[in-house]
Amino acid sequence: MRHPEWIKVKSTDTHETKKILRHYGVSTVCEEARCPNQGKCFSESTATFMILGDRCTRNCSFCAVESSKPLPPDPEEPEKVAGAVMALGLKFVVITSVTRDDLPDGGAAQFAGTIQAIKSRNNAIKIEVLTPDFKGDSEALKRVLDAKPDVFNHNIETVPRLYSTVRPMADYATSVNILNTAKKLYPAIKTKSGIMVGLGETEQEVISVMHDLREADCDFLTIGQYLQPRRTNIPVVEYLKPEVFEQYRIKGLGKGFKAVASSPLTRSSMDASGMFDDAPVL
């Protein structure tokens, strides 16, 4: 399906950001997942760091990241990311990872180490982590949260009915529960989740996901258009118009989310600092 006009993205100069990322030898989900906003974010000297390698132990049909046997975690990675953060002059950092079901803690220690490495250089920097589900392991989750990120993000990705085709190695209830557990363990840490649309879900199913996330006391929500990153990925079923995304944003705020970002090009990490800064203090 050809992209509609509202999906078009202008090309921008990203050379300096890429130069810094390559110098420190760090990966970004912007590049690995072929994000359509990569040019915009890189031109503004920001990026979402992807730790624990570039090979995933799961094979989600929507994702462009390679699925194969991963390499052992790089013990120097936390310091490499911290160095890149300082070089880019970031005040708000987003850290995500591939899923590492091969590791006993799912990679929780690497998340914690990366948070600590950044904060040891500048404790004023705000940090958002976008983690896998850790197979529902609350001890692994606690290890990440004990490092005190400012936002804990775990994406639902799609509606329960589509999990068998979109996230066949994941479980909807586990993902909701990991957000619920995070909020119970550390109520002061903001929680966040995201969903893609255009995969064949119905409006009522999206509203139902909103309800489940609010039942888990999730603070922030992102909704964006699914775009097929490679020919081998699951195809787009529908391109939703911008006005539909605005309706979802209004419905989400009505459900009680502190902030909702909803547009065709919204991605989980896009303008994460703005969502955090603009959220009302209750």
Q: What is the pLDDT of residue 137?
A: 97
Q: What is the pLDDT of residue 252?
A: 98
pLDDT averaged over every residue in the chain: 90
Q: What is the pLDDT of residue 179?
A: 98
Structure tokens at 176: 């909701």
Please say if the pLDDT value at position 18 is more than 90.
no
> Three-class SS of residue 192?
strand
Structure tokens at 44: 């503004």
Q: At a CB cut-off of 8 Å and minimum separation 6, what does 185 contact?
A: 138, 141, 142, 145
| Under 8 Å between Cβ of 191 and 233 | no
| Under 8 Å between Cβ of 229 and 66 | no
Q: What is the pLDDT of residue 107?
A: 97
Domains contained in the chain, CATH given:
15-278 (3.20.20.70)
Cα 24 from Cα 64, distance rounded (Å)? 23
Cα 262 from Cα 268, distance rounded (Å)? 10
User: Residue range 203-207: average pLDDT?
Assistant: 98
Please say if the pLDDT value at position 282 is more than 60.
no
Q: How confident is the model at residue 221 (pLDDT cuts 50, 70, 90)?
A: very high
What b/e readout covers 231-261, taking b as 16+ CB neighbours within 10 angstroms? eebbebeebbeeebbeebbebbeebebbbbb
| Residues 73-88 pLDDT 10s | 999 999 999 999 999 9
| Residues 112-170 pLDDT 10s | 999 999 999 999 999 999 999 999 999 999 999 999 999 999 999 999 999 999 999 99
pTM above 0.95, yes or no: no
Cα 273 from Cα 129, distance rounded (Å)? 12
Q: What is the pLDDT of residue 34?
A: 62
Residue that has been written with the tokens 């800064």 in this structure: 277
| Residues 246-274 pLDDT 10s | 999 999 999 999 999 999 999 888 778 88
